[in-house]
Amino acid sequence: METVYWWQIGIVLLLLGSPALGETIPGESLNSTQDLDLSPEIIENSPVLQRWLKEVPNVLEDIRNDPSFSTRVRLGYSQFPSTEQAGGFNIGVEDIFIGDTGLTVSGDYQSSFNGKRESFGTDLHYYIRPLGSYVNIAPVVGYRKLETDDYSTDGVNLGVRVFLVLSRTGAADVSLTQSFVSPGSSEEVGITTLSFGYAVTQNLRLSTDIQKQNARQSKDSRVGIVLEWIP
C-alpha cells in the first residue's frame, strides 16, 4: 500500500484553491509543474504529487476506501486460567485482504504446554462498511476445532465481529468477536474474544486477547499477550 503524505496533499489542495490556478475539479489534470510553483526536485521525489499532476483524485473517496487497519502476523504467550493456570502459546495471521473488497481471511493456532487445551481454525470476514471506516462490522464464516480435557468438537464457525479503529493504519484498535462452533448441535461451543491492539513502532504492535469458551460440559478461558508484525 502506497504511503500517503498528507502534508503534500495539503499543499496541492492549497494551490488548487489559489485564484492563479483557476477552478480545478477532481478528474482534471494540472497543466505543468509550473502550476504548482514547486521545484522539479520536490515533484520528482514525490509519487503523491506525480499522481496528482496526472489526475486530481477524489480525496474523500480515497480516505473512505483506504483500509483503516492492516494485516497482522501474530505470535504470543497464552495463559489458560480455567486449565490449572497452564501456560501456552498462540500464532496466527489476521485480516489478509482479498483484492480490493471487504473480504479478509484469518487463521490461528493456540495450545497449552501441558497438552490439555488446543484450538485452531480459519475464518472469512466480510466488512460491511467501507474499509476506511472507524467502526466496522463483519460476519464471520469459517472452521474451528477445539480440544479440552472435558470435550472435543469441530465444525463450522459462525459469528460476527465488531471492529473499532481508534487510530488508522493499525496504530490502535479494539475488536469484539462472538462466534459459535457447530451451532445448533449438541456439541455447540460459543467463543467470545475481546482484543486490544496498539503500535509500539511503525511495523510492530502489542495486543491483549481475552477469550471465553462456553460449552455444555464446561466453561474455559484464555488470556494472551501477543506481538504483532504489520508487513
- Summarised one tens digit per residue, pLDDT across range 60-103 is 776 677 888 999 999 999 999 999 999 999 999 999 999 888 99
Confidence of residue 149 (pLDDT cuts 50, 70, 90): confident
- Asked if the structure places residue 35 within a domain, the reply is yes
CATH number at residue 178: 2.40.160.40
Same structural domain, 120 and 142: yes
Same structural domain, 78 and 59: no
Same structural domain, 145 and 35: no
- Asked if the structure places residue 1 within a domain, the reply is no
Instruction: Supply the pLDDT for residue 38.
Output: 65
Same structural domain, 25 and 135: no
Greater pLDDT, 57 or 162: 162
Instruction: Supply the pLDDT for residue 208.
Output: 96
pLDDT at 4 > cutoff 70: no
Same structural domain, 86 and 190: yes
Tens-place pLDDT, residues 102-141: 999 999 999 999 999 999 999 999 999 999 899 999 999 9
Instruction: Supply the pLDDT for residue 158.
Output: 98
pLDDT at 25 > cutoff 50: no
- Asked if the structure places residue 187 within a domain, the reply is yes
Same structural domain, 87 and 60: no
Same structural domain, 94 and 59: no
Same structural domain, 23 and 111: no
Q: Which of 86, 50, 124 is nearest to 220 (CA)?
A: 86
Domain extent at residue 79: 72-229
Instruction: Supply the pLDDT for residue 170.
Output: 80
Same structural domain, 10 and 32: yes
- Asked if the structure places residue 145 within a domain, the reply is yes
Instruction: Supply the pLDDT for residue 65.
Output: 72
Same structural domain, 37 and 77: no
Instruction: Supply the pLDDT for residue 207.
Output: 96
Same structural domain, 53 and 77: no
Q: Which of 38, 65, 92 is the endpoint of a domain? A: 65
- Asked if the structure places residue 163 within a domain, the reply is yes
163: left (phi over 0), alpha (psi -120 to 50) or beta: beta
- Asked if the structure places residue 51 within a domain, the reply is yes
Same structural domain, 61 and 77: no
Tens-place pLDDT, residues 39-48: 777 777 777 6
pLDDT at 12 > cutoff 60: no
User: What is the total count of domains within the chain?
Assistant: 2
